[in-house]
C-alpha cells in the first residue's frame, strides 16, 4: 500500500489553512464550556441517577481509592520496619485497606453502570433527538446537501457526545481532585517537584492542541468521502436495489467506486496517523524525561537521609500519581476542544431553523378544503432556474383535479408545494382563504392523504402499514374496507398471516415482499385509511395492470367522495373522470379545462391524447392482423 506523506506547506499555504481554521471556529455557535454544561444538563434530564454516579462513584470514589492505596503502602513499610507504635500502625493499615477495597468496589460498580447501561441510554437519548429533528424538520432540509452533511456530522458527533464526553468529564474531574491531593503531598517535600512534573504536562497539552487543530482544519476534506461510502453501503445492501445489481452486473461498478472512495478516505486517515504519531512521540518523550528527573530527586533525598523509608514510598508513588493526573487533566482539557466541535455539530443541527410555522397556528378547517395558488414559483436549492413559475389556480372544495404533462414539467413539485413539503420561493398558497403558513405545519399535514411515486413500506405488518399505528390502536374493519377499495384485500387475505403478515424480507425472514403494483395499492389503502380532507395521487396506477387500473378508476369517485383530490397521470385517458384538467408545461400552466373542452381546443393536451390513443389503436390493429 502506498504511503501518503504530509503535505509540506509553504508559508502562504499554512497561513491560508489556519485562516480557514479560524474562520471555521468563528462560525461555531457554542463554546467549549457551554457544550460541557449542555451535555451534563442532558445527562441529568435523561438519567439523574447516572449523573449522581458520575460525581460520587466515578470521581470521588476513584480519588479516595487512589489516596487509600498510596498511604497504605507508606504505613505498611513503616509497620514492617518495626517502630514503637506498631499497634497503631496496624490499625491504620487495616482501616486504609478496608477503605481502599470499599471505594474500589463503589468505583468499579459506578464505572460499569455508566460505561454500559447509562452510556447506552444516553446514546439513545441523543440519537432520538437527532432522529426526531431529521423526521420533523422542513422536508426541504432533507434534500439539501449542506443539511445532509450537517446531519452526518451530527450522527457521527452523537457517539462522541455520549460515552466519550461523559467519560472525559469524569476523567477530568477526578484527575483534578488527584492533582490537588498529590500536589499537596509533593509540595511538602519540595514545591519545585510541582514544576518538574507540571511544566512538561502543560507543554504536552499545547503539542496535543496543535495536533488536533490540524485534524479539525482538514475535516472538510474527508467528509464527502464518508458520505459517499455511506451511500454505497446503503445502496449495495438495500434489498430494493438487489435485482438491478444482479441483472445489470452492478456489483463490479459498486466495487470500483467503493474502492475509489475508500482509497481517498484512507489517504486522509494515513495523513492523520502520521501527523498524530509525530506529535505523540514528542509529547511522550518529554513526559518520560520529567518523570525520570522527579524520581531521581526523591532517590537523592532518601540517599541523603532527608526522608525515611515510609515517606520515600509515599513520595515515590505520588510522583507517578501526580504526573499521570496532571497529564490527564491537560489531555482531557485538550480533548474538550475536539469533543466540543462534535457537540456543536449535533447542537447546530438540532438548532436548524424551519421556515414553516411550527408554533401555534390557526384552527384547521373541518370538512372539504379549498387550496389556492397565487403566483407561486419554486426553485430548488442550487438550481439555475425555477421548476415552477408563476402558477395561479384553485383546487375547489370537493373538486377532482387532474395534473398532466411531460416528465419534468413540475407536477410532483406542485403536489409537494400543496401538501406543505415545500414552501414557495415566490408567491403564496392559501387554505380556505388563509395563508398556509398561518397554520401549524404539522397540523396542516393532517389534511392530506397522499400516494407519492417513491413509496416507502415499513418493516411491520400489513395492517400497521395501512393504519400507520401499532396493532393495539387499529380499527381493523376500517383497514379491511380500505384494502378492498384499493383492490388488494384478496391478496392480503391469501397471505399466511393475512393482515398480520410482516413486510420487508431484508428485516424479517418470514416477511412477504409485494410487487410494484401491490405496493401502490397498499399505499392507496394507507391514504384512504387516513380519511384526510384532501387526497393527492401522484401516478397511482403507474405499476398497475390495465384491469387493476380500470378498477381503480371505477372506485375513484367512491373513495374521493366528500374530498378534494388531485390526480397526476401520464395516461391522459385516465383523467376523463376528473372535474378539471390542468396541463403543466415547462413549470407553467399551458392549458386548463375539462377533457371535452381541452379536446375541442385542439392544443397540446389534444395532441398528446391523440398520440397516446393512436398508439393503442395501432397496437390493436396490429394484434388483429
Q: What's the start-to-end Cα distance of the chain, in Å?
A: 66
Quote the pLDDT of residue 470: 77
Domain at 144, CATH number: 1.20.1560.10
Q: Give the pLDDT confidence of 205-246 residue by residue, as tens digits.
A: 777 777 776 666 666 666 677 777 777 777 666 666 666 766
- Residues recorded for the chain: 625
Q: Which of 447, 446, 443 is nearest to 359 (CA)?
A: 443
Domain at 375, CATH number: 3.40.50.300
Low-confidence ranges of the chain (pLDDT < 50): 1-9, 619-625
Distances (CA, A) of 240 to 160, 233, 304, 491: 32, 13, 80, 21
Distance CA 448, CA 535 (A): 6
Residues 341 and 387 reside in one and the same domain: no
Packing angle, helices 309-350 and 250-303, rounded to 10:
150
- The phi, psi pair for 402, rounded to 5°, reads -110, 135
- Cβ(548)–Cβ(516) under 8 Å? no
Distance CA 21, CA 448 (A): 46
DSSP string, 423-447: --SEEEEEETTEEGGGS-HHHHHTT
Residues 315 and 394 reside in one and the same domain: no
Please check whether residue 516 lies inside any domain of the structure.
Answer: no
- Cβ(569)–Cβ(545) under 8 Å? no
Quote the pLDDT of residue 622: 46
Q: Which residues contact 436 (CB under 8 A, 6 or more apart)?
A: 420, 428, 429, 430, 444
Quote the pLDDT of residue 151: 76
- Cβ(530)–Cβ(554) under 8 Å? no
Quote the pLDDT of residue 620: 46
DSSP string, 488-542: -HHHHHTSTTGGG-BB-TTT-TT-B---HHHHHHHHHHHHHHHT-SEEEEESTTT
Residues 191 and 228 reside in one and the same domain: yes
Quote the pLDDT of residue 615: 59
Please check whether residue 507 lies inside any domain of the structure.
Answer: no
Please check whether residue 356 lies inside any domain of the structure.
Answer: no
Please check whether residue 432 lies inside any domain of the structure.
Answer: yes
Please check whether residue 266 lies inside any domain of the structure.
Answer: yes
At which of 320, 350, 380 does a domain end? 350
Residues 280 and 337 reside in one and the same domain: yes
Please check whether residue 41 lies inside any domain of the structure.
Answer: yes
How many domains does the chain divide into? 2
Distance CA 250, CA 224 (A): 22
Quote the pLDDT of residue 190: 82
Please check whether residue 389 lies inside any domain of the structure.
Answer: yes
Distance CA 69, CA 73 (A): 7
Q: Which of 237, 182, 123 is nearest to 506 (CA)?
A: 237
Distance CA 332, CA 284 (A): 16
Residues 304 and 376 reside in one and the same domain: no
Residues 322 and 377 reside in one and the same domain: no
Model-level pTM?
A: 0.66
The backbone region for 580, taken as left when phi is positive above 0, alpha when psi lies in -120 to 50, beta otherwise, is beta
- Can you give the residue range of the structural domain that contains 430? 371-450+535-540+563-624
Residues 330 and 382 reside in one and the same domain: no
- Cβ(563)–Cβ(535) under 8 Å? yes
At which of 315, 350, 385 does a domain end? 350
Residue 195 C-alpha cell reads as 514544576
Residues 291 and 433 reside in one and the same domain: no
Residues 375 and 253 reside in one and the same domain: no
Residues 272 and 421 reside in one and the same domain: no
Residues 279 and 410 reside in one and the same domain: no
Quote the pLDDT of residue 427: 93
At which of 289, 321, 350 does a domain end? 350
Please check whether residue 483 lies inside any domain of the structure.
Answer: no
> To 5 degrees, how large is the angle CA 245–CA 249–CA 252?
95
Residues 402 and 328 reside in one and the same domain: no
Amino acid at each position: 500500500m502506498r504511503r501518503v506523506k504530509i503535505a509540506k506547506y509553504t508559508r502562504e499555504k499554512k497561513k491560508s489553512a489556519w485562516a480557514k481554521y479560524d474562520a471555521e471556529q468563528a462560525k461555531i455557535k457554542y463554546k467549549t464550556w457551554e457544550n460541557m454544561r449542555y451535555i451534563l444538563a442532558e445527562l441529568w434530564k435523561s438519567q439523574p441517577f447516572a449523573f449522581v454516579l458520575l460525581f460520587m462513584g466515578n470521581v470521588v470514589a476513584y480519588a479516595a481509592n487512589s489516596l487509600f492505596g498510596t498511604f497504605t503502602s507508606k504505613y505498611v513499610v513503616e509497620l514492617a520496619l518495626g517502630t514503637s507504635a506498631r499497634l497503631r500502625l496496624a490499625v491504620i493499615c487495616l482501616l486504609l485497606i478496608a477503605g481502599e477495597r470499599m471505594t474500589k468496589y463503589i468505583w468499579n460498580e459506578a464505572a460499569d453502570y455508566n460505561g454500559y447501561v447509562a452510556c447506552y441510554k444516553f446514546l439513545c437519548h441523543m440519537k432520538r433527538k437527532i432522529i426526531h429533528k431529521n423526521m420533523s424538520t422542513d422536508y426541504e432540509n432533507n434534500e439539501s446537501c449542506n443539511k445532509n452533511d450537517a446531519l452526518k456530522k451530527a450522527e457521527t458527533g452523537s457517539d462522541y457526545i455520549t460515552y466519550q464526553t461523559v467519560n472525559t468529564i469524569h476523567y477530568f474531574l477526578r484527575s483534578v481532585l488527584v492533582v490537588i491531593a498529590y500536589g499537596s503531598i509533593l509540595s511538602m517535600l519540595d514545591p519545585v517537584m510541582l514544576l518538574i512534573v507540571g511544566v512538561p504536562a502543560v507543554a504536552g497539552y499545547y503539542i496535543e492542541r496543535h495536533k488536533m487543530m490540524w485534524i479539525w482544519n482538514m475535516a472538510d476534506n474527508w467528509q464527502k468521502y464518508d458520505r459517499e461510502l455511506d451511500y454505497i453501503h446503503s445502496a449495495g445492501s438495500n434489498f430494493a436495489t438487489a435485482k438491478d445489481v444482479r441483472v445489470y452486473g452492478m456489483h463490479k461498478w459498486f466495487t470500483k467506486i467503493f474502492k475509489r472512495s475508500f482509497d481517498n478516505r484512507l489517504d486522509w486517515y494515513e495523513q492523520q496517523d502520521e501527523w498524530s504519531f509525530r506529535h505523540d512521540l514528542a509529547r511522550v518523550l518529554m513526559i518520560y524525561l520529567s518523570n525520570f528527573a522527579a524520581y531521581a530527586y526523591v532517590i537523592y533525598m532518601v540517599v541523603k537521609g532527608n526522608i525515611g523509608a515510609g515517606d520515600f514510598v509515599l513520595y515515590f508513588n505520588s510522583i507517578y500519581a501526580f504526573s499521570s493526573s496532571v497529564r490527564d487533566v491537560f489531555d482531557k482539557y485538550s480533548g474538550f476542544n475536539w469533543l466540543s466541535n462534535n457537540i456543536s455539530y449535533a447542537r447546530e443541527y438540532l438548532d436548524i431553523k424551519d421556515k414553516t410555522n411550527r408554533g401555534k397556528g390557526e384552527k384547521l378547517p373541518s370538512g372539504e378544503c379549498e387550496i389556492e395558488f397565487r403566483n407561486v414559483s419554486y426553485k430548488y436549492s442550487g438550481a439555475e432556474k425555477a421548476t415552477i413559475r408563476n402558477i395561479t389556480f384553485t383546487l375547489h372544495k370537493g373538486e377532482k383535479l387532474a395534473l398532466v404533462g411531460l416528465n419534468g414539467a413540475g407536477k410532483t413539485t406542485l403536489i409537494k408545494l400543496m401538501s406543505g413539503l415545500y414552501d414557495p420561493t415566490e408567491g403564496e398558497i392559501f387554505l380556505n382563504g388563509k395563508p398556509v403558513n398561518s397554520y401549524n405545519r404539522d397540523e396542516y399535514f393532517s389534511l392530506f392523504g397522499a400516494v407519492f411515486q417513491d413509496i416507502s413500506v415499513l418493516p411491520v405488518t400489513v395492517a400497521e402499514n395501512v393504519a400507520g399505528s401499532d396493532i393495539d390502536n387499529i380499527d381493523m374493519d376500517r383497514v379491511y374496507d380500505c384494502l378492498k377499495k384499493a383492490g388488494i384485500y384478496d391478496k392480503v387475505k391469501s397471505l399466511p398471516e393475512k393482515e398480520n403478515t410482516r413486510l420487508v424480507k431484508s428485516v424479517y425472514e418470514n416477511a412477504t415482499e409485494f410487487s410494484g403494483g401491490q405496493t401502490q395499492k397498499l399505499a392507496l389503502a394507507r391514504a384512504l385509511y387516513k380519511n384526510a380532507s384532501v387526497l393527492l395521487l401522484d401516478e397511482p396506477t403507474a405499476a398497475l395492470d390495465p384491469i387493476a387500473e380500470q378498477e381503480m378508476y371505477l372506485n375513484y369517485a367512491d373513495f374521493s367522495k366528500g374530498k378534494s383530490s388531485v390526480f397526476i397521470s401520464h395516461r391522459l385517458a385516465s383523467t376523463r373522470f376528473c372535474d378539471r384538467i390542468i396541463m403543466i408545461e415547462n413549470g407553467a400552466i399551458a392549458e386548463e379545462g375539462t377533457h371535452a373542452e381541452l379536446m375541442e381546443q385542439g392544443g397540446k393536451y389534444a395532441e398528446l391524447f391523440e398520440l397516446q390513443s393512436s398508439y393503442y389503436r395501432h397496437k390493436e390493429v396490429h394484434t388483429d392482423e
